[in-house]
Amino acid sequence: MKMKSIVSKEAHILAAWYDLIHCSGLLKDHLYAYYFGDMSKFLYFSYVVEGKKLWIPLLKCICLGVNYSNPLIQKVIDIIKSIEVCGWREFEEYIKNNLTLRVEELFNSTLPVLQDFIRKAFNIDLRNLKELYVIYGFNPGRGLYGSLLYYCRDYIITSVFVNEYLNHETILDLIYHELLHAVIRLYNLNIPDEIEEELVDSLTPEGYLSILLGLTNKVRVGESRVSKIIEEYFRNKLFNEKIPLYQYLLQKLSKES
């Protein structure tokens, strides 16, 4: 698997736009309250993109260079290109000069460990996945944020919103979080959504898998029954016995219910 970094204003806008519409806690449930002025044009096309299911074509067009004849897609892209992103030129220069290469090098050095763990803990061979595309967006605030935007058998597209205060290990840790979500869904492991989120949160970022990968030296996960079972799984190194993690977790939870 190769990591391919995407650093462009248009990709940043599309990824941020996607989160704006889809992530809980943002504007998702109250978009009408922002429907005026210049924002109304943006939100109208959000409405159209959702209704016409154009997110994936837009992602492929902007991130992968795939051409589409649909005039609506071109109109949306023209709007995206017309939007100003304050400080983008400086941010783009910083990302290209200081982050992407180092994150890719760290990815290449930790990938064999990740692949070995996923093979043992999930019985999945990741070598069939050819590419992992990472959109770098700017985060003017604090915290770790990213999204899984698209996945298929050949490649995955994720986003990560960063700034100069995040180190390479932290950024890759978040990228792996989104990659794990893709693996679980791509291979139809049938883990309930709420358990999937707790499971992945317990693994990365700053989780038990992060320790194994050398991306952090301290686990910072929430106190829950799921996280305690994950801790037990890693403490006893059950992945070395090729005991499937998700089956172990679901069986433990089932016995307690």
What pLDDT shows up at residue 25?
60
What are the Cα distances from residue 253, in Å, to 19, 44, 48, 125, 181?
31, 44, 42, 26, 20
What is the spatial distance between Cα 192 and Cα 27, in angstroms, rounded to a whole number? 25
What are the Cα distances from residue 65, in Å, to 105, 233, 235?
24, 42, 45
What pLDDT shows up at residue 222?
83
What pLDDT shows up at residue 29?
65
Least confident stretch, 33-37, 78-82, 84-88, 242-246: 33-37
Residue 31 has pLDDT above 60, yes or no: yes
Quick: pLDDT tens for 50-63.
Answer: 889 999 999 999 99
Handedness of CA 216, 217, 223, 224 (dihedral sign): positive
Least confident stretch, 15-24, 168-177, 222-231, 245-254: 15-24
Both tokens assigned to 125: 């061979």
Average pLDDT over residues 110-135: 94
Radius of gyration of the chain (CA): 19
Query: In the predicted model, what is the mean pLDDT of the chain?
Result: 91
Quick: pLDDT tens for 37-51.
Answer: 877 877 888 888 888
Average pLDDT over residues 82-110: 94
Give CA torsion, residues 112, 117, 119, 125, to 10 deg. Answer: -40
Quick: pLDDT tens for 227-246.
Answer: 999 999 999 999 999 899 98
What is the spatial distance between Cα 244 and Cα 238, in angstroms, rounded to a whole number? 8
Residue 112 has pLDDT above 80, yes or no: yes
Helix (H) / strand (E) element for 47: namely helix 37-52
Cβ-contact 253, 199 below 8 angstroms:
no
Average pLDDT over residues 199-221: 94
**Hey, which residues does 156 pair with through a beta bridge?**
132, 151
Cβ-contact 156, 148 below 8 angstroms:
yes
Handedness of CA 95, 59, 115, 245 (dihedral sign): positive
More confident call, 156 vs 144: 156
